[in-house]
Every structure is written in C-alpha cells, then in structure tokens.
Amino acid sequence: MKSLLETLPVAELRKVRAARPGAELAARPMLATLSDRRDFGTDWIFERKLDGVRVLAVREAGEVRLLSRTGRRLDSAYPEIADALAAQEADDFTVDGEVVAFDARGRTDFSLLQQRMGLTDARRIRATGVAVTYYVFDLLRLDGADVTAIPLRSRKSLLRRALIYRAPLRFTPHRNEGGQELLDQACGRGWEGLIAKRASGPYEPRRSGAWLKLKCGLGQEFVIGGFTEPAGARIGFGALLLGYYEGTRLRYAGKVGTGYDDRTLRELRERLDGLETGRSPFVDTVRERAPHWAEPRLVAEVGFSQWTRDGMLRHPRFLGLRDDKRPSDVVRETPAGP
C-alpha cells in the first residue's frame, strides 16, 4: 500500500525525518499566543477556538495512548476516543487535538466537560451522560516519520486522509481567509474565538507567534491560592482567591465568587482543605477578612470582562478546574500586536 507521505512534493519530502517515539514528539505541544491582531495575509488559515481540553494521541506498536499537554495518560478518561483510534486502518500516527463536550445548543461547554474530567471508571463515565468529541487539528508523526517540519497546510492534508472520521472523531476544518469580520461571525455564533495559524509554518514544540488566539471575550487560567468562608446559606466556600505567576512570584489577581453549583462548592472545599497552609502564597497583600490559604496546586479557568487599573479581575466567573496545565505555567496573558 502506497504511503500518504509519497504524495508530498519532493521539497517537502526532504524535510521528513525518521521519528522519535510518538510520546516523545507529543511531550512538548505547540501553544498559541493571545493576540489582538486582526489583519492577515494569504499565508494564514483560521480554525475555531474550541472550549475543551488539549489531548495528543499516539498510536504506535499496537497501542493507543491519549496524553494531556503535561504528559498525563488519559486513555481511561476518554475510552471511546481511544477505541476509535485503535480501530483506524492507520497504525502509526501522532496527532494533536482538543476534546470537547457540546451542550443542547450545539456549543462547546467546558463546564459540561468538567463532569467527565478526572473520571476513569467506565461505569461512572457512562452515568454522567456526557458525550465527548475529539477534534483533531494537527499531525506530528505518520508511518514512522516525523512530519513536524513540513508546512501546516500539508500536515492538515495528510491528516484529513490518514484517519477515518466517525464519531467521536472529527477533523478540524479551517477557512483560508479571516480577520475581524470572521471573528465577529464566530462570536455571533457563540464560539470562544478563532485560532489563526501560519499555513507555511512547522509544528514548533513551544508557544509560538505562528499560532494566534483571537478571543471573543476575556478569560484565562489562574492559580488558586486560597478561599474565603461562605456566608448565609452558601455552602463550601465564599470565593476563590486567584493569582498568576510573574517569574517565581505568585501575583494576586482578585477573587471569584460566581459560577459554582453546590456539587462544585462541596468538592472544591474538600480539595482545598487538604491543601490548606498557614501562610499566603501571594507576594501581594490580600485584603480579605480571615482568608484560608492554600498551596498553589490547583488551576481554575475563569472568564471576566476586563482587568482593572490596579491589576484585578472585573466581573470574574468560575468556568471549571484545569487538570491539564501546570500552576507554574500560568501567567497573565497579554495580547501580542501585529
């Protein structure tokens, strides 16, 4: 059977190398940079920004492995995805993508996905009733070859043909033209935003300006450094105390008291009680009465309207915990210009 690699132009085929093990290739995924750029040339493509969890998948030597961006095994968390990849005719590949859950309106919903995150028991997974979809958007390895050096457009062409896309697998489509108008359309459809990618670029194992996040609203990850006691009929806790790293210093960014259901309040309080410590992890003064401090090990996804002049979050809302990102990697995201 003719390999798909043989369909590449000669100049691109010369960039293909024998691959390291798939898990090594997946160990350092390419990351996008937040940007306020809105004018793009012809060497850019545009994908939907998905509100889910980054997952890299490796099929090699008869085994399928699903890996988080920090290298944690996720096979048992998303068994239907592992099974779908194991059933593929292609038997040697490493792909990059995002696992999402859709709400009743057909929009990706991170809070819905939260019901699946952390679960590994098949019975408990089925009991959630939450179906997941794996949107695959890049190809790192195929048939024992490292294809990260060839242009993105060619990698996506190989990816489209390398796998058979049936639920729960989907190929991530793209548009060849975009900018403010396309972003406005995406926001109007309730999307989180767009990812602009340089079509001729390689897959780089770092955060890169060749992938740009164009967001409809503000939101990012924050480290949880403490919490306040609940008031009135509230259970669990009142608000989470949030921060981000500036070098090795954890800077305080404010508190978030909305976006929780009762189950989250109870479960988070239990986890935070286990992390409670006697001193503040923040370098800044936190003006809260009798706060509880916690070791900065948990990461929360938070949406908000804007940053205040004194560096606090305005109108924050809790979206969910992230178990796929290291606290030390959480920094204040500042949009890059053109």
Q: Which residues carry out catalysis?
A: 49
Q: Tell me the β-bridge partners of 169.
A: 134
Distance CA 296, CA 18 (A): 40
Q: b/e map of 285-311 (b: 16 or more CB within 10 Å)?
A: ebebeebbbbebebbbbbbbeeeeeee
Please answer whether residues 275 and 294 qualify as being in contact, where contact means their C-beta atoms are separated by less than 8 angstroms: yes
- Alpha helix ranges (H) inside the chain: 10-13, 22-25, 79-86, 110-113, 122-128, 152-162, 180-188, 262-273
Which SS3 state, helix, strand or coil, does residue 211 take?
Answer: strand
Read off the amino acid at residue 72.
R
* Number of residues assigned to the chain: 338
Dihedral sign computed on CA atoms, order 146, 150, 156, 160: negative
| CA–CA separation, 136 and 180 (whole Å) | 25
Give strand pairing partners of 225. none
Nearest to 194 by CA among 173, 214, 209: 214
Q: What is the DSSP letter of 24?
A: H
Taking alpha carbons only, the member of 27, 237, 66, 3 closest to residue 148 is 27
**Could you give the CA distance from residue 238 to residue 265 in angstroms, rounded to a whole number?**
9
Residue ranges of E strands in the chain: 17-18, 31-34, 44-48, 53-60, 63-67, 93-100, 133-142, 145-146, 169-171, 193-198, 207-215, 218-227, 240-246, 249-256, 276-277, 292-304, 306-307, 313-314, 317-322
